[in-house]
Amino acid sequence: MHLILTGATGLVGSGALDAMIKMKDITKISILSRRPVAMAEDVKDPRVNVIIHKDFEKYDAEVLEKLKGANGAVWALGISQNKVSKEDYVKITKDYALAAAKAFANLPPGDEPFRFIYVSGEGATQKPGPFSAIFARVKGETETLLSEMRAENRRLRTESIRPAFPDKMDHDAIKPYVPDPGFIYNVMGAVVAPAIRAFVPSFVSPTETLGRFMAEMAMGKVDAGLAAGGKGIVTLNGGLRIVNNAAFRRLAGLA
């Protein structure tokens, strides 16, 4: 099983990379990144290949050849809406994901499907209101467009997961590699995080469990659970399933 990963230097992506490395039925891990990935370098695992890629709107023949045979992807590339302009946020959050899904759809051998797992976020919506945040609108729109792409290409299996509060507290393996979010975020985290863990545990997305769950989604191991539906799973026109945080916790055995 060959999986692609983006966002490997971020919090959620680091969790996914750690999970993939630990899953021995994954035979190849291709990381697309603008810069070297410290965890990948330190693990010294021959299955891990970091492909330095500068333009996430384009995939030339050389890059696609390195990705040939991949069965799925965890698209964890993202950024806070507060750290970039609206235009850049749309490009990073929506345009990059759509370009990748289109480019990756026919990578698997034969007639096998390609599973593209889009990391969205709790609060994303297909029905934004006048006061909806930019991230909610853009991620919701991206989910809709990915679902339309799924309907147009039977080999492309797009899905979306909406983590709520990614929490690395018990995930020691990734702590040395997760970037410092800055003073303000650290102060807020010191105050808010314990309260969420104590009073709203259903909102917590433990990165170790989340990483493994996303990898399993990309491998097709969660297909039965997604097909069964249930609380927290919404299927859009086109077939994409949105897995909100409560559904993730339920399917992962956390609730």
171-222 pLDDT, tens digit each: 999 999 998 877 767 777 788 899 999 999 999 999 999 999 999 999 999 9
Which residue(s) pair with 5 in the sheet? 31, 74
Distance CA 168, CA 179 (A): 12
Report helix, strand and coil shares of the chain as percent, to nearest 5.
45, 20, 40
pLDDT for residue 180:
83
- Asked whether the predicted pLDDT for residue 255 surpasses 80, the reply is no
Q: Which of 25, 7, 24 is nearest to 16 (CA)?
A: 7
Could you list the residue range(s) of the whole structural domain that residue 130 is in? Answer: 2-251
- Contact between residue 126 and residue 236 where contact means Cβ atoms under 8 Å apart: yes
Q: What are phi and psi of 30, to 5 degrees?
A: -105, 115
Structure token digits, residue 44: 């010294």
For the chain, the average pLDDT equals 96
pLDDT (average), residues 71-100 = 96
pLDDT reported for residue 181:
78
Distance CA 93, CA 119 (A): 10
Whether pLDDT at 170 is above 90: yes
Mean per-residue pLDDT, 29-34: 98
CATH of the domain at 54: 3.40.50.720
pLDDT at residue 145 above 90? Answer: yes
Segment 141-159 shows an average pLDDT of: 98
Residue 94, pLDDT above cutoff 80: yes
Number of domains making up the chain: 1
Q: What pLDDT, on a 0 to 100 scale, did the predictor assign at position 44?
A: 95
